[in-house]
Structure 1
């Protein structure tokens, strides 16, 4: 470059940089917002303690909240938890209103309906009754009225007659959420309620002298994170790998233990 053009070139570059900085402020902000939005994963679930619920300040907490937050942070994403009407979960996935369903969700019998990251935990499906109930075993549910959550595995098992070992109950009340299921037993509308063991234990702990679990389980559930069948397979595979890493390094066991569950059984290591 000729020396006589140096000052002109410096002036030109200075002006160009200033223009870029001014225009870049707006564009950079937009790009940042786009990146932030792209990194957010919307998780749909209903309330199912101790997996996902709200504390006194309205903040989400629970086993799945902590597992999801840690896993997604390791992958460079930020979770956004969204309460949903459970029976609408499939449409929400199809419409893209949530990225995944994550909240003590059983994979059993649904393996081909979703893309799954899992299993990462296990749960027994159990029955709870009043302390003074004559019901002692699963077979004693014959002819009884029970309550379950709508679209749950408990609903599927007790509304169909082709599952071995499931008694023929007289009536199955299906409710939108577990709080309504608990209320049905509390108000004596039904004689038993069915669902995930940990959720039933959380309910029983509110009045341990009034309710109890039967010893028998009617299903051993593998829990997973469900995505729409058209979702990004690479992302789902990466999440599954990350959850596997968390199982191996003790992170999931530590989280489960904080909530009073047997970590070995929850991870499928201590079951018969």
Structure 2
């Protein structure tokens, strides 16, 4: 073989090797892009809630916002999911979770007394269930509620407590009005159709702030509530447990406090005893 033939053979071989390298490099690129998947490519978790400021409501941009919305977005992002929020009839939450219409119910949902109804993630915050009255009311204590009327949102913890008042150490009411629409419980009290209302303290204070309404919140709370995320009882993929661990991480690194502080005054009030950092 002469020198020219050897040079041509060498260049042909070099071109072949270069071409192979280009193929290999191109073949690696989709894997790199997949590792850096955009949020739109992540698996979706469907979260069901109703309108319940400051935990979940529609912002001025038309998008879901609130304490629970931001906590859900951050927690599921860390777990490799994208969140889709859907508005549900809160009365139907258990059915919707069980039939798979939604993956979980997340909306200032008290775990207390419901531990065996769902597979829970949490608690991620504390909240107080309280009674509020008009400022002119002669009701100052829970005992003063005897033979009075009270309005609650249906399927909530206050409804459960007052429908079985004697068993829960509460006075017997003349009537308990259970309404599906959360906003209507405030209107019912304002109009004088009920003597008192019961709900999460944070939700009551948010309503007063938003609508410049003044209620008097009784000093004695109904209960201290542990807020959690409810999954179907038979959920077996370990996601609720991983979400609970993520809540602990978010408490420890200050993320939960940062989010809560954007919506609620005195954020440490909702984190007391949770085990996370409360440093500024």
Matched, 1:242 2:246: yes
Counterpart residue number, 2:133: 129
Counterpart residue number, 2:194: 190
Measured after TM superposition, the shift of residue 167 of structure 1 is: 1.4
RMSD: 2.6
Show CA shifts across 1:142-161 (max 9, x none): 11111001010000000003
Measured after TM superposition, the shift of residue 46 of structure 1 is: 0.7
Matched, 1:98 2:98: no
Q: Distance in 2 between matches of 1:156 and 1:254?
A: 32
Task: Give secondary structure in 2 for the equivalent of 1:42.
Answer: strand
Counterpart residue number, 1:116: 120
Q: Distance in 2 between matches of 1:89 and 1:217?
A: 26
Counterpart residue number, 1:142: 146
Show CA shifts across 1:105-164 (max 9, x none): 000001111111101101000011111111111111111111001010000000003434
Q: Distance in 1 between matches of 2:167 and 2:209?
A: 30
> Structure 2: which 5+ residue stretches go unaligned?
1-8, 28-36, 275-280
Task: Give secondary structure in 1 for the equivalent of 2:46.
Answer: strand
User: 176-185 vs 221-230, which deviates more?
Assistant: 176-185
User: 121-130 vs 254-263, which deviates more?
Assistant: 254-263
Do 2:42 and 2:82's aligned partners in 1 also have CA atoms closer than 8 Å? Answer: no
Q: Distance in 2 between matches of 1:196 and 1:267?
A: 15
Q: Distance in 1 between matches of 2:237 and 2:220?
A: 37
Do 1:107 and 1:223's aligned partners in 2 also have CA atoms closer than 8 Å? Answer: yes
Q: Distance in 2 between matches of 1:257 and 1:215?
A: 23
Equivalent positions of 1:78-97 (< 5 A) are 78-97=82-101
Choose from 227, 240, 248 the match for 1:223: 227
User: 249-258 vs 156-165, which deviates more?
Assistant: 156-165
TM-score (norm. length: structure 1): 0.83
Task: Give secondary structure in 1 for the equivalent of 2:107.
Answer: coil
Q: How many pairs align?
A: 248
Measured after TM superposition, the shift of residue 245 of structure 1 is: 0.2
Larger Rg: 2
Measured after TM superposition, the shift of residue 263 of structure 1 is: 2.1
Choose from 43, 47, 51 the match for 1:43: 47
